[in-house]
Structure 1
Amino acid sequence: MNVGDAEQDEEAGFRAFSTKVEGTNINPQTLLATDYLNHFNEIVMMLEMIPDMPECFEDAQAWQPKSYQDHFRDSQFRDRDLAVEAYDHVPERFRKPFEDVIGQMNVLIAMTVERVGPLIEAGGDGGELRMVCSDASRGVQKLMDIASAIIHGSESRFDQREIDGLLGR
């Protein structure tokens, strides 16, 4: 099979799934669903609660990244099987930036959890803990906004300097 045949097969698969997802909560242009972002909403809420309820830190430590397909396999999402299957047909122009931003969120969350532990153990005035958690929460939310835009068909690219700024690099 040559490259042209592979591209035609890929396009045919995309078109078939685009038709299948009509009338669902899966975007027919991207074959992605915003429900995946609920996985990140959980950790954002935990990070926001930690300064006032440090016992939430254990839940934040237990939170683990989850792939798009694993999220749907484990969810109660009505069209979960379709979401899992459709992901294999997401056009590369959406899949690559989507996976990149998800990777950045996972890094930011891991870095934050790593920073928060010693701050809780130190038991200081909580000002630095509040700042770290607040900054991370806002950073993850900004990245979620980018992911949501991709899910809804945006092909604009995010600025790596801005992403690095969110990660404190």
Structure 2
Amino acid sequence: MSRIAKYPVAVPAGVEATISAGQISVKGPLGTLTQDLTGDVVIRQEDGQLTFTVANDSRQAKAMSGTLRALVANMVTGVSKGFERRLNLVGVGFRAQVQGDALKLQLGYSHDIVHNMPPGVKAECPTQTEIIVKGANKQVVGQVAAEIRAYREPEPYKGKGVRYADERVIIKETKKK
């Protein structure tokens, strides 16, 4: 069995986990998330904790026990605290602003880029060069941040582009004559 799956997931107050035949749903103040289950892992809820055990001794079941435990732990964290990803715009004239449920980006192209946010994900712009993507689902928040970054990835000579706040861009030395 996976070492990760040995640790139980604590369900905080205000969060409710429901295990049905083919899925687990976690409901909290920030929304409801569901995850489909395979028959490889058995989930038990006792004393405000979720425990994960393998149903059979197959290699697939052992691997899925740790994976499912990590996914459920992210669901519990997401509906109670939420996730956020910070992006910075580096470059002259690069700016962002929120318009309803869309994000308008000016990234040096001849046109503005309008990125529509999926349901359950919000974008905030405290400054024109900073974007905060927030939501309950960690996978969706990360995917939206990656899509925004893909519009103009940081280039290695000047470092211009959209980058994660904690990302370090290694600048190359320019060609010498």
TM class by shorter chain equals under 0.3
When Rg is computed on C-alpha atoms for both structures, the one with the higher figure is: 2
Q: TM-score, normalised by structure 2?
A: 0.24
Greater helix percent: which structure? Answer: 1
